[in-house]
């Protein structure tokens, strides 16, 4: 079952997620990532792909790891290595 991906959680490329697209929904004292949030490499916009795509924070789809994806970042990483990897071990979505 995929856990909630949050502000400061790792990406497969060693960057971390920076949640800037929502400011009200927290998981374990960290903002829950949503579609479009970037990483510390300054791009890598998150893309919701996994599950029913029917869970929202502030009208934006939530991100779960592992299962959702990200677009390439400025560091030239291809699509896969920028994907979210870190996650909550207590809050899950879908499945």
How would you write the pLDDT of the chain (95 residues) with one tens digit per residue?
Answer: 899 999 999 999 999 999 999 999 999 999 999 999 999 998 999 999 999 999 999 999 999 999 999 999 888 888 889 999 999 999 999 97
- The answer to whether residue 36 sits within a structural domain is yes
**pLDDT for position 27:** 98
Cα of 82 vs its chain's centroid, Å: 10
Tally of domains in the chain: 1
Give pTM, 2 decimals: 0.94
Residue of 78, 77, 13, 3 whose CA lies nearest to 33? 3
**pLDDT for position 12:** 94
Cα of 8 vs its chain's centroid, Å: 10
**pLDDT for position 57:** 97
CB distance 71 to 63 below 8 Å: no
- The answer to whether residue 26 sits within a structural domain is yes
Range of the domain at 25: 1-85
């Amino acid at each position: 079952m995929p856990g909630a991906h949050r502000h400061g959680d790792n990406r497969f490329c060693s960057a971390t997620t920076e949640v800037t697209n929502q400011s009200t929904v927290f998981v374990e004292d960290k903002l829950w990532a949503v579609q479009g949030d970037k990483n510390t490499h300054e791009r890598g916009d998150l893309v919701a792909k996994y599950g029913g795509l029917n869970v929202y924070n502030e009208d934006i789809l939530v991100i779960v790891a592992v299962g959702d994806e990200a677009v390439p970042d400025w560091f030239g990483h291809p699509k896969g290595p920028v994907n979210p990897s870190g996650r909550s071990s207590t809050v899950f979505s879908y499945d």
